[in-house]
Structure 1
Amino acid sequence: MSHVLKIAIIGDFNFTYNAHHATNLALDHASRFLETEINYYWIKLSEASQLKTSQLHEYDGIWISPGPYKNLFFLSGVIDHIVQQKLPTLITGEGFKSLVEVLINRYNLNPNGEKLISDNLVEGEQFEKVSIYPHTDALQKIYENHSNVELSSARFSLYPQLLDYLVGELIDIEGYNQFEEAEIISLKKHAFFVACGFCPQISSTREIPHPLVYTFIKACQNARKMAQ
């Protein structure tokens, strides 16, 4: 096996939530598939909010886990800090909305205090099926041999004018869902900073690791090589 990768999973781990267990398992699946050793560490949001930049860079990649979160204020602060780095980052679940809100605040995109992003459109603590329609060649390649049906407990609608500005300046829309809403976005000027409302880890298996997860790990490997 090659260099041992260190992945920080930022979130409030709860053993009763399947998505949290699935996050660990999806990394195990990617490790086996890529034949690379991965050590991953759960960091509570309250602790992650205190991390210095140098401490963040002790990791090869950052995964913002799905909720529930004990304090969304901490989540926004952590994401704001990570956005300023060049670390490979994957956000799955409710953190999608927090990333958009961080961008709104950083670039003062809502001076009138309007509601630019909806509340969660998935009712209750349940998962619904979403269909992913790639919008970029990169995502098309990721999904070419994988089902485009995912499971999500978080779905949001963005104000069209906000989305137009974000796409023009800050993000790329990698994929849409069946409701024609942005489902997967990435930050411009980052090698890998991807956020999706759904949870790819839930559909990852030992036999069929989720390609979005192992693509994230590949990005971590590449970043590590470039840093050496």
Structure 2
Amino acid sequence: MAKFIFVTGGVLSSLGKGITAASIGTLLEARGYKVIIKKFDPYLNLDPGTMSPFQHGEVYVTDDGAETDLDLGHYERFLNSSTTRDCNVTAGKIYYKVLEKERKGDYLGGTVQVIPHITDEVKNSIYSLSEEYDIVIVEIGGTVGDIESLPFLEAIRQIRFDLDENDVLYLHVTLVPYIKSAGELKTKPTQHSVKELREIGIQPDMLVCRSEYPLDDSIRKKIGLFCNVSKNAVINAIDASTIYQVPLLMNKEGAGRFILNKLGLEERELDLSVWEEIVYRIKNPEDTVTIGVVGKYVGLKDAYISLTESLIHGGIDNKVKVNIKWIDAEDLETQNPDKFLDDVDGILVPGGFGERGVEGKIRAVNFARNKDIPFFGICLGMQCAVIEFARNVLKYDDAHSTEFNPKTEHPVIDYMEEQKKIKKLGGTMRLGAYECKLTEGTRAYSAYKEETIFERHRHRLEFNNKFRDELVKAGLIISGVNPERDLVEIIELKSHRWFVGCQFHPEFKSKPTKPHPLFSGFINAAYKFSQDKSSIQESEK
């Protein structure tokens, strides 16, 4: 049986439980332990798939086609193991399973209650897959004290009694705020948060205290005394300049050694050299590039979190700092694109749903194509690139996607037949990893350096093969195709310095330790473009 680490959070949301869980996992994995991380969310949706990005942030997609919480992206970026649909469990999923069993008569006529039926189902979900790993880290969403998370907290409380004492560790993430007017760090919020947790019946073994300034020895002793933990169990998670520095900082705090000792696991040789190199490259770039991201949800950073990190990974691979210029696609619909895009070294148009801002995205594609600026289109971004090409090269003025104009005579982007019959929205898109065959001699093949790849999808509409021959004849290159259904996966322009659109979401497979080849290629092209611009400007002086 695996060892279990339960990560809870207190005081307020957005303290970084996901980064904490991922960093702890990194320290254990770097010692040779096999680690998996799961996220238990207290909301009643079955998954976040139908939720607005402004409500929930990014929806992260796993290889097996699950629409999950964005924290699973953090887990995969920090660890070598891949997550699955079993790694993100919502209260909605738990109640749905229990009610299905009740309808089938599995409870033999008994009254169905939160305890034991809901809590038992939570525990079953926690234990699933555990036999394949040495350590299972479970992050409980929400904040201690929220009514929604109480069944999850009760379930993890019970697990300490179900297993041996050294098989379970409770880690609580709290805040130690700095009060500027008093010039002091205050421990009271942490004390109250732990008090809430202990009233539920959980005594934390370890506290990860977020703060702007270092915790001195006296503060650690005070927290330990009032929260009933040893001073060594008080880990200071001070604000870091990059999230990829957090495992290194937590290692200096002795977090890994404390966990191994508590769980009765042997200390093994630790190698964090790859993370040290990543942090060094981030902090010491050789140059800078600016990427304009033309999106629909630019007001919320979490909506594009995997995209942001993937651009950083591309920068790491090319030893440059990536400055992201966020551009609202709606602004491009009514204003001159030069005002927003003239100073960028590359243009990225990401995915999205709904008609809002689409014409702005199409104008961004047109700007990149005509100005020979490196362009990267993802999902809807690729579809916008096809629409723009059909309108301005083939001169099909009404070319569009049937998602936005069902009556267009040139639906270059269209629904697949089975998608036209779908009524329910949740979990019904083309989701998860699909095979893609690459064409030799293309930018895609040059980036991946292999013929067959597997990438993750999240969309309903596809490139319409009825217009394929016309588009190819006009100069569009089809560089990647799904062989099973002959679906276009990647498009390029040969006459352009770097113009690539992909139907899938490459950002879901990029890691700082292994940057995605398309992002690395895009940043490399953007850097070369910036160098060319600098040379021209110098010659004009």
Classify the TM-score, shorter chain. Answer: 0.7 to 0.9
Higher Cα Rg: structure 1 or 2? 2
- Within the candidate set 198, 219, 225, 2:504 is matched to 198
- Within the candidate set 313, 333, 338, 1:29 is matched to 313
1:73 aligns with 2:378: no
Aligned match of 2:473: 168
CA spacing shift, 1:103–1:65, aligned 2, 3 Å: same
Q: Deviations over 1:97-130 (max 9, x none)?
A: 2222222222224789243431377774653322
> How many Å separate the matches in 2 of 1:41 and 1:115?
32
Please tell me the residue identity of whatever aligns with 1:165.
Answer: E
1:128 aligns with 2:432: yes
Deviation, 1:145, is 6.5
Aligned match of 2:527: 221
Deviation, 1:180, is 1.5
Q: Which residues in structure 2 correspond to 1:1-228 (within 5 Å)?
A: 1-13=285-297, 14-15=300-301, 17=303, 20-49=304-333, 50-53=335-338, 55-68=340-353, 70-106=356-392, 107-109=394-396, 113-119=409-415, 124=425, 127-137=431-441, 138-144=443-449, 148-154=453-459, 155-160=461-466, 162-178=467-483, 179-227=485-533, 228=535
Deviation, 1:184, is 0.4
SS at match of 2:414: coil
Please tell me the residue identity of whatever aligns with 1:28.
Answer: I
Deviation, 1:210, is 0.2
Give me the TM-score of the superposition, normalised by structure 1: 0.86
Between 116-125 and 86-95, the greater mean CA deviation after superposition: 116-125
SS at match of 1:80: helix
**Larger RCO: 1 or 2 (CA < 8 Å, sep 6+):** 1
Deviation, 1:75, is 2.5
> Does the aligned pair in 2 maintain the 1:128–1:151 contact within 8 Å?
yes
Deviation, 1:141, is 3.3
Deviation, 1:84, is 1.9
> How many Å separate the matches in 2 of 1:183 and 1:150?
9
- CA-based RMSD of the aligned residues comes to 2.6
Deviation, 1:63, is 0.6
CA spacing shift, 1:117–1:224, aligned 2, 3 Å: same
> Does the aligned pair in 2 maintain the 1:142–1:211 contact within 8 Å?
yes
Deviation, 1:158, is 1.6
Please tell me the residue identity of whatever aligns with 1:40.
Answer: I
CA spacing shift, 1:15–1:225, aligned 2, 3 Å: closer
> How many Å separate the matches in 1 of 2:531 and 2:301?
34
Q: Deviations over 1:14-33 (max 9, x none)?
A: 4554xx11010001111122
Deviation, 1:172, is 0.9
> How many Å separate the matches in 1 of 2:301 and 2:290?
22
Aligned match of 2:223: none
Deviation, 1:36, is 0.9
> Does the aligned pair in 2 maintain the 1:175–1:183 contact within 8 Å?
yes
Between 103-112 and 194-203, the greater mean CA deviation after superposition: 103-112
CA spacing shift, 1:62–1:28, aligned 2, 3 Å: same
Deviation, 1:76, is 2.5
> Does the aligned pair in 1 maintain the 2:378–2:502 contact within 8 Å?
yes
Using the aligned pairs only, state the percent identity: 20
Between 104-113 and 135-144, the greater mean CA deviation after superposition: 104-113
